[in-house]
């Protein structure tokens, strides 16, 4: 479902003497449907960067980034927009939403985007918010006013509202209490069971071991400094 071949990524800082900062090279990985691969490596090794390359948020410098039939590294914006709507979900560490939109609608949005009727979308959103212990009195409020942990759970609910065939999860269990952590792990296992291909970053080792089928150490992709 997700397959990377010889991918590299570098940043060119045009306004700082055109410094070129290579961040990763020769990335090869494959994730099949129903499989969860964990990205590991020290902070700064490039786990989130790799995830952003797969999501099309960062432009790969070379190589192929296949998600389903689409090469994200070469795709047109509208193809990536369609991919993100229909195929590839992403739970980032930060919630980014239009202020003033109710949490319930924030969570329902991915379903509305694929044409789910509004009642069905809201029902699903409500059940996810309940499962993640967001008190019902908050559902009609904008999550921009929520605590960090609540925002993170809204973000997770949003990521699992629609059944994406492929999912990227950046620290989905960070800073959650035991009960919510268990819920998130159950959601991940549910997604795997229905055949989703998942790439995750977990600092929580127990969580990682519970849901991941294999691991990739991204430090292996750091550019080799010429001796």
What is the C-alpha to C-alpha distance for residues 50 and 67, in angstroms, rounded to an integer?
A: 14
Among 40, 112, 126, 182, binds other proteins (CB under 8 A): 112
148 to each of 30, 125, 164, 188, how far by Cα in Å? 33, 19, 25, 21
The nearer residue to other proteins, 66 or 80, going by C-beta atoms, is 80
What angle separates helix 103-113 from helix 148-161, to the nearest 10 degrees? 20
Question: HSE (CB half, 13 Å, CA atoms) of 58?
Answer: 20
Question: Which segment (92-100, 162-170, 183-191, 198-206) binds other proteins by CB under 8 A?
Answer: 92-100
Answer yes or no whether residue 66 interacts with other proteins by CB under 8 A: no
- The H-or-E segment that residue 206 falls in is helix 205-211
Answer yes or no whether residue 20 interacts with other proteins by CB under 8 A: no
159 — phi, psi (to 5°)? -65, -25
Nearest distance from C-beta of residue 124 to other proteins, angstroms: 17
What is the C-alpha to C-alpha distance for residues 56 and 77, in angstroms, rounded to an integer?
A: 9
Residue from 3, 2, 7 nearest 221 by CA? 7
Answer yes or no whether residue 114 interacts with other proteins by CB under 8 A: yes
The nearer residue to other proteins, 52 or 153, going by C-beta atoms, is 52
Helix (H, G, I), strand (E, B) or coil at 199: strand
Among 17, 43, 100, 227, binds other proteins (CB under 8 A): 100
Answer yes or no whether residue 101 interacts with other proteins by CB under 8 A: yes
Answer yes or no whether residue 12 interacts with other proteins by CB under 8 A: yes
Answer yes or no whether residue 96 interacts with other proteins by CB under 8 A: yes
Among 3, 5, 71, 86, binds other proteins (CB under 8 A): 86
Classify residue 96 as exposed, middle or buried by CB count within 10 Å of its CB (0-12, 13-18, 19+): exposed
Answer yes or no whether residue 58 interacts with other proteins by CB under 8 A: yes
Answer yes or no whether residue 10 interacts with other proteins by CB under 8 A: no
Answer yes or no whether residue 81 interacts with other proteins by CB under 8 A: yes
The nearer residue to other proteins, 42 or 118, going by C-beta atoms, is 118
- Contacting positions for other proteins (CB under 8 A): 11-15, 52, 56-59, 77-78, 80-82, 85-86, 96-101, 112-115
């Amino acid at each position: 479902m997700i397959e990377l071949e010889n991918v590299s990524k570098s940043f060119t800082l045009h306004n700082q003497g055109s410094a070129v900062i290579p961040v990763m090279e020769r990335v090869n990985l494959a994730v099949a449907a129903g499989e969860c691969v964990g990205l590991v490596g020290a902070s700064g090794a490039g786990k989130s960067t790799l995830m952003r390359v797969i999501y099309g948020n960062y432009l790969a410098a070379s190589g192929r980034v296949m998600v389903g039939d689409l090469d994200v590294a070469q795709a047109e914006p509208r193809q990536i927009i369609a991919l993100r709507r229909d195929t590839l979900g992403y739970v980032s560490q930060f919630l980014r939403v239009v202020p003033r939109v109710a949490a319930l609608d924030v969570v329902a949005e991915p379903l509305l985007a694929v044409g789910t009727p509004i009642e069905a979308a809201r029902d699903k959103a409500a059940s996810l918010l309940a499962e993640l212990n967001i008190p019902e009195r908050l559902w009609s409020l904008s999550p921009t006013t929520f605590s960090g942990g609540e925002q993170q759970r809204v973000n997770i609910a949003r990521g699992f509202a629609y059944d994406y065939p492929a999912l990227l999860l950046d620290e989905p269990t960070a800073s959650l209490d035991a009960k919510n952590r268990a819920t998130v792990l159950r959601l991940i296992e549910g997604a795997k069971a229905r055949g989703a291909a998942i790439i995750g970053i977990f600092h929580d080792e127990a969580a990682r071991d519970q849901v991941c089928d294999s691991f990739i150490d991204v430090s292996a992709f750091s550019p080799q400094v010429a001796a």
